[in-house]
């Protein structure tokens, strides 16, 4: 006999359709899995559409294995350079051509560069702000327009970073820190602006996470970081799954404009 684990119905994402940017790799992929496994239809937007399509199939297969008697959520793949408003607008139109509506947005597309501020090239300044800040803004406003026009009580989760609240040591990443501070405050500002439309906006800020990119760029810092984390370990991408599912669900219905840090207690000290 199958074991039944009672769960509050408000945690379910069945009937919702989420767009996630940067959802084909790293932290974004873990979040994509969390959304679909919670029952949401999903549109994965990524610079690498082939990888997004591959992961869409994989996620559907995982759902089918875990829930063989349940309808598999519709998971689709889409391309966009999130710093390009025309790409963003096109991708939203393509998502709506395959899904009847959009109820949720998770903006995970972003990147970090460790470089001293004085030597940071101007074209890279524009690229980082374009992806981390403008991309979040373009998707949020584009999808909010859809939600407002269709009178959808929507939900958005911007992926920030503890770097938006503290200054990381010893890596030099002033511009990245500033971009994530902008994401955090953008979430709070839009939460207030769109509250009357029933659109909630929150910010999920990961701490030091065990991603391939983080380990490649800072291979010698793992021990130093973990020595300063109260839980004494870096986070696995899977440890973000519960938080993004909670913030995306009706279980968090009275939470908006907030930042939730998933950092093992790092920023408490």
Tokens 């939600």 label which residue?
Answer: 147
CB 45 within 8 A of CB 52: yes
Instruction: Give the pLDDT confidence score for residue 6 in this predicted structure.
Output: 79
Instruction: Give the pLDDT confidence score for residue 4 in this predicted structure.
Output: 65
Instruction: Give the pLDDT confidence score for residue 1 in this predicted structure.
Output: 46
Q: List 206's β-bridge partners, or say none.
A: 262
Residue length, the chain? 269
Burial class (CB in 10 A: 0-12, 13-18, 19+), 148: middle
The mean pLDDT of the chain is 95
What's this model's pTM, rounded to 2 decimal places? 0.96
User: What is the percentage of the chain residues whose pLDDT exceeds 90?
Assistant: 91
Say yes or no to pLDDT of 3 above 70: no
With CA atoms as reference, report the closest residue to 247 among 18, 29, 4, 7: 18
Question: Which residues, 6+ apart, have CB-to-CB distance to 3 below 8 Å?
Answer: none
Tell me the torsion sign for CA atoms 132, 138, 140, 143.
negative
CA distances from 106 to 20, 68, 140, 239, 261 (A): 5, 27, 9, 16, 16
Pinpoint the alpha helices (H) of the chain.
Answer: 26-37, 49-66, 85-98, 122-129, 135-149, 174-194, 212-217, 222-228, 241-248
pLDDT, tens only, 106-143: 999 999 999 999 999 999 999 999 999 999 999 999 99
> Confidence class of residue 2 from pLDDT cuts 50, 70 and 90?
low
Q: Which residues are catalytic?
A: 161, 176, 180
More confident residue, 195 or 6: 195
Structure tokens at 20: 């996630």
> Which domains are present in the chain?
11-262 (3.40.50.720)
Phi first, then psi: give them for residue 235, nearest 5 degrees.
-85, 145
pLDDT, tens only, 164-175: 999 998 999 999
Say yes or no to pLDDT of 84 above 50: yes
Q: How far apart are the first and last CA of the chain?
A: 47
Segment 201-205 shows an average pLDDT of 98
How many CB atoms within 10 Å of residue 155? 26
């Amino acid at each position: 006999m199958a074991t039944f684990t009672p769960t509050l119905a408000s945690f379910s994402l069945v009937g919702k359709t989420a767009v996630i940017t940067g959802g084909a790799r790293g932290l974004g992929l873990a979040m994509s899995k969390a959304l679909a496994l919670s029952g949401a239809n999903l549109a994965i937007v990524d610079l690498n559409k082939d990888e997004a399509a591959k992961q869409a199939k994989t996620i559907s297969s995982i759902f089918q294995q875990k829930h063989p008697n349940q309808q598999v959520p519709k998971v689709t793949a889409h391309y966009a350079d999130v710093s390009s408003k025309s790409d963003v607008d096109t991708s939203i139109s393509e998502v709506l051509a395959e899904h009847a509506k959009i109820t949720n947005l998770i903006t995970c597309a972003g990147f970090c560069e460790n470089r001293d501020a004085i030597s940071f090239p101007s074209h890279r300044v524009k690229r980082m702000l374009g992806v981390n800040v403008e991309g979040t803004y373009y998707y949020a406003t584009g999808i909010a327009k859809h939600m407002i026009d269709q009178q959808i009580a929507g939900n958005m989760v911007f992926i920030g970073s503890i770097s938006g609240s503290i200054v990381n040591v010893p890596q030099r990443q002033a511009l990245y820190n500033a971009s994530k501070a902008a994401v955090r405050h953008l979430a709070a500002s839009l939460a207030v602006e769109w509250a009357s439309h029933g659109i909630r906006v929150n910010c999920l800020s990961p701490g030091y996470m065990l991603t391939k990119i983080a380990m490649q760029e800072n291979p010698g810092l793992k021990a130093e970081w973990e020595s300063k984390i109260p839980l004494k370990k870096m986070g696995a991408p899977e440890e973000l799954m519960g938080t993004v599912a909670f913030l995306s669900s009706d279980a968090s219905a009275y939470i908006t404009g907030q930042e939730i840090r998933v950092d093992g207690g790092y920023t408490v000290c």
